[in-house]
Amino acid sequence: MAVLKVGKENNADIELYYEDRGTGKPVVLVHGWPLSGASWERQSAALLAAGYRVITYDRRGFGRSSQPSTGYDYDTLASDTSKLMEALDLHDVALVGFSMGGGEVARTFGKYNEAGRVTKAVFMASIVPALRHSTDNPEGVDPTVFEGIKQAIEADRFAFLETFLKNFFNKKLVGGTDISDAAIHANFNVGAASSYHAFLNCVDAWLEDFRGDIAQIKVPTLVIHGDSDQILPIEATGKRTAALIPGAQLHIVEGGPHGLNWTHATEVNKALLAFLK
């Protein structure tokens, strides 16, 4: 079991679980909430088959990583990502972030890419550029929506998770066509095993404004987003991100839900591999 110490809480080390497989140019995959690095299995298989070195890790509080009570802000989370790349001495990295993981990608460019390790960026069904509604961000969401999410989590996070995952994969829209009940159940088990502190406190992080971070991106960038995303609608996220990053490619997955890296893995992998070439 490979782990990296990224901090300490009281007498306990805070460790990230990671997997480092294959050879070739490194691709670091940052997962979404409330899952783990295992959620990348369909992309990892395709990348390894294409000759890439694939690094996945579990965000603090999730999967097999430590579950501290603090550190669920994007400065800390992106610092964890940076520490992993530094510890593995990675260079010429393609950094890929799914959903909440897009925040780590953005903040890495905003604060932690001084050494120029990351040379390609991918935002997949990503949370960027900014979700909080304000006078200068009218496309955003009223913060009271996120307070409602936190209240639902505090009341019964497992009931909330069950509904969330159905919307995550558009289960009501597609039935069993693109994802099975068994696969959703497997994702439920991963999310349910996460830390309560991580599950709840990451909601506050979703309100981060990444527009200043993505303004620092000067490398080739790919944005992949489904036009049927019920969690992070494309008009407020993917299309805006692509428009804000000069030269960014936008790949729209027709009918793609939020969890398109599973439901539309073939199309997603094809777009990802074409970009990495």
Report pLDDT for 221: 98
* Residue type (1 letter), 249: Q
Among the listed residues 58, 213, 229, 251, the single catalytic one is 229
Residue ranges in the chain modelled with pLDDT below 50 = none
3 state SS for 161-229? HHHHHHHHCCHHHHCCCCCCHHHHHHHHHHHHCCCHHHHHHHHHHCCCECHHHHCCCCCCEEEEEECCC
CA-to-CA distance for 126 and 3, rounded, in angstroms? 26
Tell me if residue 209 is catalytic: no
Q: In the prediction, which pLDDT does 178 show? A: 79
pLDDT in tens, 32-49: 999 999 999 999 999 999
Domains and CATH numbers, the chain: 2-276 (3.40.50.1820)
Active site residue 258: yes
User: Which among 227, 215, 276, 210 has a CA at the least distance from the CA of 249?
Assistant: 276
pTM above 0.85, yes or no: yes
Per the residue annotation, which of 99, 126, 194, 195 is the catalytic one?
99
* Helical pair 143-168 and 181-192, crossing angle rounded to 10 deg: 140
Q: Is 89 annotated as catalytic?
A: no
